[in-house]
Structure 1
Amino acid sequence: MKTLVITGGTDGIGRHLANTHVRQGDHVVVIGRDGAKAKDMADGPGRLEFVRADLSLLAETRAVVKDLLARFAAVDALVLCARNYRSARTVTAEGFEENFALFYLSRFLVSHGLRPALEAASAPVIVNVAGPGGDLSLVRWDDLQLEHGYQGGPALGQGGKLNDLLGVSFAAQHADGATRYVLVHPGVTATGFAGAYDQETLAHINHMKQHGRPVEDSAEPILRLIAQPPAEPLSAFVEGERISVRTTGFDPAAAARLDRLTRNLLS
């Protein structure tokens, strides 16, 4: 029996992964904001556990990590799916731009925070579902929280790139460890697309809901990665196909720069 932790696991791809592993007999911890969404998830020989937390709040993210470390000696897989689109810039109660906090900072904290439990597993893997690829021009280094000229689409684009760099720095810092860091772009998928949209964006989202790939198809490559993690400390996949992490978009110097900025911000 494996133990999995899935953020954003009550919707879309995360939900399908959770249901599949419960049916396989695994213990799956789903972290989300709305417990009602977890009530009709799969029964099976495994166990589904819902943990309520708003991962856009650093205090709640840290509390969840502390709780999981206290309760689980080993975690086989961490799957990071939580994100929330905002057409208008929103600031959390802690003073962070919400997309930056949820899509990037929470993934940084959970990735590094759960590493001790991951390292205790036999073949541990972190799967960061964010959308690897693109170049570093997506990052506004002088305005990471997008105080000026915020737009929802570019905010998600920057968040994806920050997660690429998170994977690079994590793998570099822990290259001698057992945990494999995998960056995944599942392709446009017909999910719930959680968020708050303006009318123009909503029309586009509705089109993607109708014409995106079925959740089951997008989740299948991720299930394979969890079952058999890649040998390399860092890897990236787009729609199931491996892409190189040796390009300028995965620049180690940029990753180290972001890691320093993030740690200073969190301190």
Structure 2
Amino acid sequence: MKERIELEAHAKINLALDVIGERPNGYHDVKMIMQSIKLCDRVTVERTEGDGVSLTGNLSWLPCGKGNLAYDAAVLFMERTGIRAGVSIYLEKHIPVAAGLAGGSTDAAAVLKGLNELFETGLSEEALCEMGLSLGADVPYCIMGGTALAEGIGEQLTKLPNAPVFHVVLIKPEASASTKEIYGRLVLDGKTDHPDVNGMIRAIEAGDYLGVSTRLGNVLEPVTRELCPEIVKIEQAMKSFGAEGTLMSGSGPSVFGLFTDSARATAAFMHFRVSGYRQAFLTEFTE
């Protein structure tokens, strides 16, 4: 039986994000295409003496108790499985927080998968997803990873073929976006520009680079742009370096550009780094 497990917790971007409507409980029905990228946190779960959960990390300001999804995931796992043991979690954070990249959700997913392996509980992916849903709508997708269609509040997942692999330049502006505020400002009416999610699925299934890059769409982006107009500037700069497509991920404010040419992607990445963007990343799609 293993004493320690290290996992990669990958960030996600949205290739398409549509909001269908709002439920009475305040949640929104969505239809979106999720894609894992190589940018990741590193999560270590380890057995310790006694019982209880402890969490530390590489960032001094990181919350280390209730409210940190990785911590909450461990507590939930131990409660649901009835295991009495000590667990230590170490988070090496690289994914920007409050950025529309599912950084907290992917850490929680990694903890659930790691503890399932550490304690040899043999829970299926479906069972882990069901457990993860109580932590957050993105957690089930982060357990699955790869390319997927998410519907409902994000928990109804359909695995898609792997999307054609793009180089990704990802920028997190200094501004932060509150998901609750962005959804609260969203107005769905006849003027709303809805992305072609079904067309994106067809492009992915066909391995069509042009089809994917020209169908990027996020119904939340115009809302977040009002609070963070820098999004427009970032996207324009990416296109000037040859990005085939650009989009805001999730509720933002992170922006990504898709490139088929690695040299152009590297040039764009270096431009943002020397321009003072501290959270600029050069990455690519992953399964």
The bucket for the TM-score relative to the shorter chain is under 0.3
Q: TM (normalized to structure 1)?
A: 0.26
- Whichever structure has more helix as a proportion of its residues is 1
